[in-house]
Structure 1
Amino acid sequence: MNKIIQTAPPLAGNAMGLTKGDFWVAEWQDPGGPPGPPRYIAPLHIHHKDDEAWYVLEGSLCVQSGDAIVEAHAGAGVFVPKGTPHTYWNPSQQKTRYLLIMTAKIYSLIRDIHEMTDRSPARLKALFEKYDSELLG
């Protein structure tokens, strides 16, 4: 049996997983911002066939899952099952670092979003649909 082992020490700013694999893990951060309405890291969206989870390493992260809003602090995690509208943001003025645990399909969606030069609503909508997801907000 041929096994592939990936490491990314430190994971900061990196992701690890296999394109055809079951899941990816990526570490991301948000620097925080001024008080006021949420600065969404991702707009409200839904993945029709894929679950997603966050694990907070430093600071805090708010995740809206359906109608519920959970504020997770360092050491806590949040799981959002497929078919659930969700978004997330850093609720404080302080930096937050977190792991995003996702399927290879969601990782590909995020990668493609970051590579887009035209982020018009129509292009974003089409890209989300390509990955069995839907942009809601």
Structure 2
Amino acid sequence: MTRRDDLTGVPLLGRTVAPEGSGLVLAEWEAAGRTADQVAWQAPLHVHHTDDEAWYVLSGTLRLNIDGEEYDVPAGSGIVGPRGVPHTFGNPSEEPARYVLVMSATTRALLEELHGGFSGDVAALFEKYGCSLL
């Protein structure tokens, strides 16, 4: 049985919310502002072959590169990165950007392994979770 606190009413910043067995995961994260004249990219250019992702910006601005097109997504706006389409995202501003990421459980597992001290072949890790680095 799913506990009610797995579904709603929990602080989201810095964590993920998904009931056990759910295929859908919510996470609220912050992208630090850039310190130079370049976008502070949060991920390498990659493709999810079977999963979509979506970003909803709470504050600041995110820049997404989706299939070679760049989109600035300001607070109060959202964007979807469809499966099978190369994409990456970052912060084009000096100010931090807070956003909600809607992802699959597979993408969550990839990120947890990647950020949990992984030190192997990153391309192979992406492939393990149905993605390709570009």
Q: TM-score, normalised by structure 2?
A: 0.91
Deviation, structure 1 residue 19? 5.3
Count of aligned pairs: 132
1:87-122, CA deviations, whole angstroms, 9 ceiling, x for partnerless residues?
Answer: 000010001100000000000000000013415xxx
The residue number in structure 2 matching 1:130 is 128
The residue number in structure 2 matching 1:63 is 64
Cα RMSD, aligned residues only: 1.5
The residue number in structure 1 matching 2:99 is 98
Aligned runs of 1:69-84 on 2, under 5 Å?
A: 69-84=70-85
1:68-91, CA deviations, whole angstroms, 9 ceiling, x for partnerless residues?
Answer: 111011110010110000000001
The residue number in structure 2 matching 1:48 is 49
Q: Distance in 2 between matches of 1:18 and 1:112?
A: 19
Q: Distance in 2 between matches of 1:18 and 1:103?
A: 12
Deviation, structure 1 residue 18? 3.8
User: Which portions of structure 1, spanning 4 or more consecutive aligned residues, are displaced by more than 2 angstroms?
Assistant: 2-5
Q: What is the DSSP-based 3-state SS (H/G/I as helix, E as strand, rest coil) of the residue aligned with 2:44?
A: strand
Q: Distance in 1 between matches of 2:18 and 2:35?
A: 34
Q: Gaps spanning 5+ residues in structure 1: where?
A: none
Q: What is the DSSP-based 3-state SS (H/G/I as helix, E as strand, rest coil) of the residue aligned with 2:123?
A: helix
Q: Gaps spanning 5+ residues in structure 2: where?
A: none
Deviation, structure 1 residue 35? 3.7
Q: Distance in 2 between matches of 1:27 and 1:39?
A: 18
Q: Distance in 2 between matches of 1:19 and 1:106?
A: 15
Q: What is the DSSP-based 3-state SS (H/G/I as helix, E as strand, rest coil) of the residue aligned with 1:42?
A: coil
The residue number in structure 1 matching 2:24 is 23
Q: Distance in 2 between matches of 1:58 and 1:74?
A: 5
Indicate if the aligned counterparts of 1:26 and 1:100 stay in contact, CA closer than 8 A. Answer: yes
Q: Distance in 1 between matches of 2:22 and 2:2?
A: 12
Q: Which moved more, 1:62-71 or 1:16-25?
A: 16-25
